[in-house]
Structure 1
Amino acid sequence: MELGSALHFLDNRAILVTGATGFLAKIFVEKILRVQPNVKKLYLLLRAADTTAAVQRFNSEVMAKDLFKVVKHKYGEELNSLMSSKIIVVAGDITYQNLGIKDTNLLDQMWREVDVVVNLAATTSFDERYDVAMGINTMGPKHVLDFAKKCQNLRILLHVSTAYVSGEKEGLIQETPYQMGETLNGKCGLDIEREKKIIEETLKTLRAENASEKSITLAMKDLGIQRARTYGWPNTYVFTKAMGEMLLGKLRDNVPLVIIRPTIITSTYNEPFPGWVEGIRTIDSLAVAYGKGRLTCFLGDPKTIIDVIPADMVVNAMIVAMVGHADERGCERIYHVGSSVSNPLELPWIQDFGYRHFSKHPWIGKDGKPVIVGKVTVLSTMASFQTYMAIHYLLPLKGLEIVNTACCQYFQSTYHEMDRKIKFVLKLVDLYRPYLFFKGLYDDMNTEKLRRAAKEGGIETDLFYFDPKVICWDDYFVKTHIPGLVKHVFK
Structure 2
Amino acid sequence: MVTPTAVAPPALTTVNEMYEGGQILMTGATGFLGQILIEKLLRSFPRIKTIYIIVREKKGLSAEQRIDKMFRNVIFESLHELMPHFQLKIKVLNGQLDAPNLGLSPEDRSLVMSKVNLVFHCAATLRFDEELKVAINTNMYATQKLLDLAKQCSNLRMFTYVSTAFSHANRKYIEEIVYKPKTHYTELLKLAEMDITHPKYQEARDRLSTENINTYTLTKAAAEQLLHEEATYIPVCIFRPSIVVSTWSDPIPGWIDNLYGPTGLVCGAQAGIIRSVLADPNVKADLVPVDFVANALVCAPWHARQSYEKDNSSMPVYNYVSSKDNPITWYDFSITSQKAQLSIPSSQGLWYCFVLLTKHRTVYFLQNLLLHYLFGYIFDTCSWISGNKFRLLPIYDKMSKVVSALEPFSTKEWTFDNRNVEQMWNQLSSSEQNRFPFNIESLNWDDFLDRYVRGTLVHHLNDKMDSETRIKAKKRYTRLTVAHHCAKSLLYACVVLLLWSLLKYILW
TM-score by length of 1: 0.82
The alpha carbon displacement at 1:295 in A equals 1.1
Q: Check if 1:230 corresponds to 2:202.
A: no
The alpha carbon displacement at 1:130 in A equals 2.1
For 1:223 and 1:435, how far apart are their aligned partners in 2? 26
List aligned pairs for 1:158-307, cutoff 5 A. Answer: 158-170=160-172, 172-179=173-180, 182-183=181-182, 190-203=183-196, 205=198, 226=206, 228-231=208-211, 233-307=212-286
Q: Check if 1:353 corresponds to 2:361.
A: no
For 1:68 and 1:191, how far apart are their aligned partners in 2? 42
Counterpart for residue 453 of structure 2 = 482
Label 1:30 to 1:360 Cα distance change in 2 as closer, same or farther (>3 A).
same
List aligned pairs for 1:62-73, cutoff 5 A. Answer: 63-73=71-81
Label 1:391 to 1:155 Cα distance change in 2 as closer, same or farther (>3 A).
closer
Gaps of 5+ in 1: 184-189, 207-219
CA contact (8 A) 1:3 1:324 kept: no
Label 1:419 to 1:191 Cα distance change in 2 as closer, same or farther (>3 A).
same
Alignment equivalent of 2:97, drawn from 85, 94, 97: 94
CA contact (8 A) 1:355 1:373 kept: no
CA contact (8 A) 2:245 2:290 kept: yes
Label 1:249 to 1:374 Cα distance change in 2 as closer, same or farther (>3 A).
same
CA contact (8 A) 1:337 1:444 kept: yes
Label 1:308 to 1:418 Cα distance change in 2 as closer, same or farther (>3 A).
closer
The alpha carbon displacement at 1:395 in A equals 8.6
CA contact (8 A) 1:364 1:371 kept: no
The alpha carbon displacement at 1:441 in A equals 2.7
Q: Count residues with an aligned counterpart.
A: 443
The alpha carbon displacement at 1:435 in A equals 0.8
For 1:411 and 1:113, how far apart are their aligned partners in 2? 62
* Matched residue SS, 1:42: strand
The alpha carbon displacement at 1:364 in A equals 2.8
CA contact (8 A) 2:133 2:191 kept: no
Label 1:372 to 1:6 Cα distance change in 2 as closer, same or farther (>3 A).
same
For 1:40 and 1:418, how far apart are their aligned partners in 2? 49
Q: Check if 1:35 corresponds to 2:14.
A: no
The alpha carbon displacement at 1:450 in A equals 1.0
The alpha carbon displacement at 1:150 in A equals 0.4
Counterpart for residue 473 of structure 1 = 445
1:269-297 CA-partner distances (Å, limit 9, x unpaired): 22222222111120101101111122111
1:133-187 CA-partner distances (Å, limit 9, x unpaired): 11111111111110110001111110001111122533x42112022xx23xxxx
For 1:225 and 1:66, how far apart are their aligned partners in 2? 42
Gaps of 5+ in 2: 1-10, 463-508
For 2:45 and 2:375, how far apart are their aligned partners in 1? 61
Label 1:413 to 1:67 Cα distance change in 2 as closer, same or farther (>3 A).
closer
Alignment equivalent of 1:343, drawn from 304, 308, 326: 326
CA contact (8 A) 1:140 1:244 kept: no
CA contact (8 A) 2:293 2:438 kept: yes
Identity %: 26
Matched to 2:146, the amino acid is V
For 2:383 and 2:164, how far apart are their aligned partners in 1? 50
Larger Rg: 1 or 2? 2
TM-score by length of 2: 0.80
Matched to 1:439, the amino acid is E
* Matched residue SS, 2:26: strand
Label 1:153 to 1:489 Cα distance change in 2 as closer, same or farther (>3 A).
same
CA contact (8 A) 1:362 1:371 kept: no
Q: Alpha carbon RMSD of aligned pairs, Å?
A: 3.0
Label 1:394 to 1:281 Cα distance change in 2 as closer, same or farther (>3 A).
closer
Counterpart for residue 108 of structure 1 = 110
For 1:304 and 1:83, how far apart are their aligned partners in 2? 44
Matched to 1:203, the amino acid is I
1:365-405 CA-partner distances (Å, limit 9, x unpaired): 3xxxx43334322222113223444566779999x9xxx9x
For 2:368 and 2:49, how far apart are their aligned partners in 1? 58
